Structure formats: structure tokens, C-alpha cells
Amino acid sequence: MKRVVITGAGTINALGQDVPATFEAMREGRCGIGELEFRDVERLAIRIGGQVKGFEPETVFNRQQMALYDRFTQFTLLAAREAVAQSGLEFKGDLADSSGVVLGTSGGGMTTLDDNYRAVYEEGKNRVHPFIVPKLMNNAATSHVSMEFNVKGPSFTVATACASSNHAMGQAFNMIRSGMCTAMITGGSESMLCFGGVKAWEGLRVMSKDACRPFSATRNGMVQGEGAGVFVFEEYEHARARGAEILGEVLGFAMTSDASDIVMPSKHGAARAISGALRDARVEKTRVGYINAHGTGTAANDKTECAAVADVFGTHADDLMISSTKSMHGHLIGGTGAVELLACLMALKDGVIAPTIGYEEPDPECALDVVPNEAREAEVDVVLSNAFAFGGLNAVLVLGRA
């Protein structure tokens, strides 16, 4: 089996419009959640989110590109440009043929859907722009990345709600590990912060009106975010031969299905995914120093996740750190695992553990070291990234130091 390393990272999210800005915000425990700004927001009960502000796509993309790129595609391309530039890879010849793009998203072009439903239903228009279908389709971002970087191998989009990015990255990892591919552009993106997107979430009544406070006894729900995280995964010998900087190594991956409920999480499903990923990585659980939690800030997720971690790690659960960066950038749904993988890279590379901000009061049902409110310096060798989706689909990645 081949070894798989990460040689490029890129992002845009509510904390920053590139990786250095995002790392800085995470180190400082800054909150990117604020008042939502979009049409009809006054008709919503939930008016906060981790929205990307000060981003002017018209300054980055030309008129024809704008007609084809939904916001989730715009985010993806910006993050992919940063990641590919860092990796230094040029996709041509054999490398182009043996590399692919696997990205996650849950809603795809939801703002495009929202705008155009509004046009035909509310405004009574009988004509929409000719490119609505290629703009809103879930694989649009993947396809545009493959076109921009000339990546010609296996490419597709994964949609597993809140676990989409982790499933995508797990797939990319296994495609390199098995020898099928040399390099993969992977991660995910989401842009659901529009009237219809937030209205649908509002209906579930699990959203907070004031803040995302994972693991805190005072938590009262989740807060949505938007953005993208994109990485270059590369076969280790290929990266080493060209002297690429290695940001971290992907050691293992596992996925499970709860097979129980469409929204309520299961401790067993989560625990099986975590222990499966450790087994796949062949690392002792005592080597795990940090877990980037799914940590949504809902009662159901946080206590289930903590119970699963306690079950898998036993007494070691008290020695490791577990934080939820959703407290800062919000829940990016299909893109969340990708942005959260950045916190894992920061832990491995810089020895800085991103905090769980907004933490006010301990909850006996979440009695782990959640790195409350302030980032911490710590050397860690092995880290985990958890994602547990609606529908009971779980995906956990294990990463190690370069």
C-alpha cells in the first residue's frame, strides 16, 4: 500500500480568505459568526451565520465565469487555487491522467436554486438564464476544478450531508493508497446561506439564535457557515522525489452507517467509525493527541460524540484534547470536514490546538478536555477528524505528522 501525504491546502471561510488568515483566527480564537446579510433575511427567525464577507467574486472571475459559477463553485476554485499553488504540482502528461478531483458538497448550487425559484414563482418570470442547470449541479465545482487544472483522472462529487467532505477526502486517500491515482484534489464546499437554505434549517428547530457553543452546558443549537477547504493529497514517494513540502500524512479512514434514524446520531455508529479509522491507520489509540470534533453545538450531537470518544479511548479520553472549531466558522455542512482538517494540520505542523470558543459552563455529559476558549500549544503526533451526518453516515480521518 502507498503512503499518502498532503502537499497543498487552501480555503475561504468566515475566518479568513486563505489558510494563513484562517490559522491566525483559529490561534486567536476569533469568532467569524455574525449577522447574516442577504435578501429577505428579515423573514427569518435565525439571522446569524458564519458568512464569508468582503468577498467580491466579480473582481476574481470574469463575466462568463460568473454566469457558470455558483457561490459554492467560486469558493471551491479559490481554495483549489491556493492548494495547488502551494503543492507546486503542474498537471500534465501522465500526472494529469493519474490524478483526480473528489469533492464534497451537500446542497450544491443552492443560491442559484433559490434565486431562480424566486424569479419564476415569486416574480412570475417565465424565462431563466440558460446555464442554470450546469451552475447548480452538485458536480459543477468538481468539474470546474478539473478543467482549470487539467486534471483528467477519476473525478466525482460526494454528497453525504455533513460528512460529505470527509467521505470525499477518505475516498481520495484510498484512491492514492491503492495505487489508482498519484495525486488528488479533494475537500469540499458549501454555500447554503440564502433565504431558502436557512429557512429549511430553521424548520428543524435545532438552530441557535445567538451563538454556537459546543460542549458548553449553555449550548442551544448549531449555527450555519459557508466556504470551502481544498487539499492536494499526493503519493508519498512522488512528493518526496520532487522535494515538496509535506504538511501532514493521511494515515487512515473509516466510514460507518448507523442504520437507525434519519436525524438522531448514534453513539455506536460514531464509535465504530472512530475505532475503524484507528484500526485502518494501524495506530495505537494512546498516540492520538487531538480530535477535531464534529461538535455541532446541539444537545444530541455533543453528548453522543463525547460518549463515543469515551467508549473508544477509555481512560485515554481524559488525556487527549477535543475541540470544535464550528464555534468559530459555523457548520459548513458538506464543506465542514474540509475546513476543519485545517485545524488538524495546524495542530500537527505548528503545535497549536484550535479552541472551542463560546464555552461558558461544563456539561457533565461532555466531560472531556474541549480546549475551552483559548488555543493551546501542544505537540501532537496523531489527530482525528470526526464527521457524523444526518442520515447516520459517519466518516473519520486519521492524520499524522509529516
Partner 1 sequence: MDVRKQVLQIIADQAMLDVSDVSMDSTPEDLGIDSLGLVEAIFSIEEQFDISVPFNANDPSESDFDISSVAKIVEGIEKLIAEQKT
> Which active-site residues does the annotation give?
162, 294, 331
Q: Does 295 bind partner 1 (CB under 8 A)?
A: no
Give yes or no for residue 200 binding partner 1 (CB under 8 A): no
Restricted to residues 264-283, the positions that interact with partner 1 (CB under 8 A) are 264
Backbone angles phi, psi at 218, to 5 degrees: -90, 5
The interface with partner 1 within residues 10-39 (CB under 8 A) comprises none
* Angle formed at CA 256 by CA 50 and CA 337, multiple of 5 degrees: 20
Calpha distance 292→290 (Å, rounded)? 7
Give whichever of 172 and 223 is closer to partner 1, judged by the CB atom. 223
202 or 245: CB nearest partner 1 = 202
Stretch in the footprint of partner 1 (CB under 8 A) among 204-212, 284-292, 328-336, 371-379: 204-212
- Residue with the three cell numbers 491503492: 178
* Segment near partner 1 (CB under 8 A); pick from 78-86, 114-122, 143-151, 202-210: 202-210
Please name the amino acid found at residue 77.
L
97 in Cβ contact with 21 (< 8 Å): no
Closest to partner 1 by CB, 300 vs 378, is 300
- State in angstroms the smallest separation of the CB of 1 from partner 1: 42
Take residue 97 and report the three cell numbers written for it. 491522467
**String marking each residue 47-86 x if it binds partner 1 according to CB under 8 A:** ----------------------------------------
Contact with partner 1 (CB under 8 A): which of 20, 203, 314, 362? 203
Return the closest-CA partner of residue 401 out of 372, 384, 377, 380. Answer: 380
Task: Return the residue of 262, 315, 364, 379 that touches partner 1, per CB under 8 A.
Answer: 262
Instruction: For residue 322, give the C-alpha cell.
Output: 477535543
The upper half-sphere exposure of residue 278, i.e. CA atoms within 13 Å in the direction of its Cβ, equals 19
State which of residues 174, 220, 257, 373 lies at the interface with partner 1 (CB under 8 A).
Answer: 220
268 vs 109: CA distance, rounded Å: 33
Contacts with 138 (C-beta within 8 Å, 6 or more apart), sequence order: 105, 108, 109, 157, 159
Q: State which residue, 140 or 212, has the beta carbon closest to partner 1.
A: 212
Report if residue 208 touches partner 1, rule: CB under 8 A: yes
Q: What are phi and psi of 169, to 5 degrees?
A: -70, -35
Contact predicate 226/193, CB 8 Å = yes
- Which position among 120, 133, 200, 263 is part of the footprint of partner 1 (CB under 8 A)? 263
* Beta bridge pairs of residue 188: 104, 229
The rounded Cα 221 to chain-centroid distance in angstroms is: 19
Which residue, 147 or 204, has its beta carbon nearer to partner 1?
Answer: 204
How many binding residues for partner 1 (CB under 8 A)?
Answer: 17
Interface with partner 1, residue 299, by CB under 8 A = yes
**Residues 346 to 365: which contact partner 1 by CB under 8 A?**
none
Choice between 177 and 219, CB closer to partner 1 = 219
Part of the chain binding partner 1 (CB under 8 A), chosen from 186-194, 284-292, 293-301, 362-370: 293-301
C-beta of residue 224 within 8 angstroms of C-beta of residue 192: yes
105 vs 208, which CB is nearer to partner 1? 208
Distance, in Å, from the CA atom of 377 to the CA atom of 379, rounded to the nearest integer, reads: 7
Beta-carbon contacts of residue 93 (< 8 Å; ≥ 6 apart):
none
Q: Which residues bind partner 1 (CB under 8 A)?
A: 45, 203-206, 208, 219-222, 261-264, 298-300
